[in-house]
Amino acid sequence: MKLPYIIIVDDDLQVLRAIQRDIRNEYREEYKIAATESAAEALELIKELKLKNETIALFISDQKMPEMEGIVFLEKANEIFPDAKKILLTAYSDIEAAIKAINKVKLDYYLLKPWHPPEEKLFPVVNDLLDDWHALYKPDHEAIRIIGFQWSPKSHVVKEFLSGNLIPYIWMDIESDPEAEKYLASTDVTKSDLPLIILKDGTYMNDPSLPDIAARIGLQQKATKEMYDVLIIGAGPAGLAASVYGSCEGLKTILIEMKSPGGQAGNSARIENYLGFPTGLSGGELTRRAVTQTLRFGTEVLTPQQVKSITLKDGYKVTEMMDGTVIHSKAIVIATGAAYARLDIPGLENFTGAGVYYGSASVEAHACKDEVIYIAGGGNSACQAAMYLSKFAKEVNIVIRRDKLSQTAANYLVENITNTPNIKIIVNSDVISCAGSAVLENITLKNTKTQEETTVTAKALFIYIGTKPGTGWLNDVILKNDKGFIITGSELMKEKSFHTFWKLDREPYLPETSVPGIFASGDVRFGALAGISSAVGEGALAIRFVRKYLQEM
């Protein structure tokens, strides 16, 4: 089996030897380690490794090198191995340069010299980055293969499901990859039955349902206990945080997710405002860490399982799933967040998954290589997606209703977008129609000031026009406001009907809904501050009150 590489570059021979020695001592069993004093020489080696089909997991480069600055080296190396992790070695005096590099080369870490003792300052960082890298990398022979048509909605659903559940796969387009034909020929599946999923053990499934795939790849879908202390609905940041705090505090905790863990945050190409991650991290990385953490504490995570309804029986809560199974619990935390608002233009739904995507930038980015694509919406998530897609597409056009992006997006994103030459902003405009045969081919834009309509070729349209609360499934047992957000705590007491539904002597707890023992946290709660940190905080807070409620029972 080929081992992945760690590449180290430092012009100071003494430092190079020291870091090479530490890295070799710790990682030589699982990685090949190559070290050089010259950035130019390292780039030659990297190109050679690419030609030989080798993989690189990590670059470690010094910043101050006379021949080429570390940032420049990492930028060039990133073009050849974009998935490899990147550490810049800096002295105190270079910290400013390192911080600038975070945006420029999407640096994963800057490590201050000296790093002794390595057990404290070097290995934990490197271990963390290598774990992240491994989570998304699988050698060819170990990965699941999906064979299908690039612009097929069914293939898109499978890709989105696997990537959301952090299962690495190899995508093979039947129309452009000759290898895909060979795999197809080795089965009795025809092109009309695609997508074909080939598992690691060589067995295959054609056009499977998501629960079928989940069962075959070992995701848990059924509860194992008769009764749980707390059942959490939705595995976005709020639900994941609630589950970590719940099981960490010894509660029997179950977490139900209808798609894949991560929620909206799982779609984020780069989260830059989460405390403690100065270089940012992707939604996938944050989710992987949170899921690992909650499983370690003993939470049962069921995915994909969609909650259909909640009823009350003898003071206990009965949660029914779409597949008819029921789970009993003493308390519930609803953390169903929000889902992308749909763009309401005729015919658009026909192309969902076939050129039109809600979120999914990271799943479909490779399909946009060298294409002209459009993004509808000008909020932070639209801008993050534009930045990510600009690395693949020839041209990314952001279509916004207002006349400036700065009215809807954070400053740092506006700045990044302005400095990215292949991103254009189309102001005062709406997408009003779309057309294509089997897949999206063009869209029509209307300038809302001049009323002028323009039809443009579009390989893909990514839609980020806001969200609406994930409460469509909730019956009237739980009080919502006119927009569908769940009302909690003191806000409930402002309702005229408060005394008709609230019979306890105490007031509702801060995150408690109109039903005692059912709590809401994150974006789904009326009055919550949208955002990952707030959702995480709210998830943790809900558990504090779940405990109080359990003591009262």
Residue numbers at the binding site for ligand FAD (CB under 6 A): 233-239, 256-259, 263-265, 267-268, 271, 273, 306-307, 335-338, 359, 380-381, 384, 470, 473, 522-524, 530-533, 535
Rounded Cα distance, 443 and 431, in Å: 7
Q: Is 91 helix (H, G, I), strand (E, B) or coil?
A: coil
Rounded to the nearest whole angstrom, what is the least distance from the CB of residue 54 to ligand FAD in the complex? 33
Rounded to the nearest whole angstrom, what is the least distance from the CB of residue 502 to ligand FAD in the complex? 24
Q: How many CB atoms lie within 10 A of CB 26?
A: 17
Degrees to nearest 5, angle at CA 392 with 456 and 362: 100
Closer to ligand FAD at the Cβ: 457 or 475?
Answer: 475
Closer to ligand FAD at the Cβ: 76 or 391?
Answer: 391
Closer to ligand FAD at the Cβ: 39 or 405?
Answer: 405
Alpha-carbon dihedral sign for residues 151, 152, 157, 162 = negative
Q: Within a 13 Å sphere around the CA of 79, how many CA atoms are in the beta-carbon half?
A: 7
Distances (CA, A) of 524 to 33, 266, 287, 468: 48, 16, 19, 9
Rounded to the nearest whole angstrom, what is the least distance from the CB of residue 469 to ligand FAD in the complex? 9
Rounded Cα distance, 425 and 402, in Å: 11
Rounded to the nearest whole angstrom, what is the least distance from the CB of residue 539 to ligand FAD in the complex? 7
Closer to ligand FAD at the Cβ: 147 or 238?
Answer: 238
Question: Who contacts 472 (Cβ-Cβ below 8 Å, separation ≥6)?
Answer: 484
Q: Is 280 helix (H, G, I), strand (E, B) or coil?
A: coil
Specify whether the CB–CB gap between 16 and 33 falls below 8 A.
no
Among left, alpha and beta (phi > 0; psi -120 to 50; other), residue 276 is: left
Closer to ligand FAD at the Cβ: 377 or 508?
Answer: 377
Closer to ligand FAD at the Cβ: 102 or 265?
Answer: 265
Closer to ligand FAD at the Cβ: 9 or 338?
Answer: 338
What would the two tokens of residue 187 be? 């089965």
Closer to ligand FAD at the Cβ: 189 or 321?
Answer: 321
Specify whether the CB–CB gap between 304 and 211 falls below 8 A.
yes
Q: Using CB atoms within 10 A of its CB, is residue 318 exposed (0-12), middle (13-18) or buried (19+)?
A: middle
Q: Is 320 helix (H, G, I), strand (E, B) or coil?
A: strand
Closer to ligand FAD at the Cβ: 98 or 528?
Answer: 528
Rounded to the nearest whole angstrom, what is the least distance from the CB of residue 80 to ligand FAD in the complex? 28
Rounded to the nearest whole angstrom, what is the least distance from the CB of residue 57 to ligand FAD in the complex? 25
Rounded to the nearest whole angstrom, what is the least distance from the CB of residue 375 to ligand FAD in the complex? 11
Rounded Cα distance, 45 and 36, in Å: 10
Rounded to the nearest whole angstrom, what is the least distance from the CB of residue 448 to ligand FAD in the complex? 25
Rounded to the nearest whole angstrom, what is the least distance from the CB of residue 255 to ligand FAD in the complex? 9
Which alpha helices (H) appear in 341-466, and where do they start and end?
A: 361-364, 380-389, 411-418
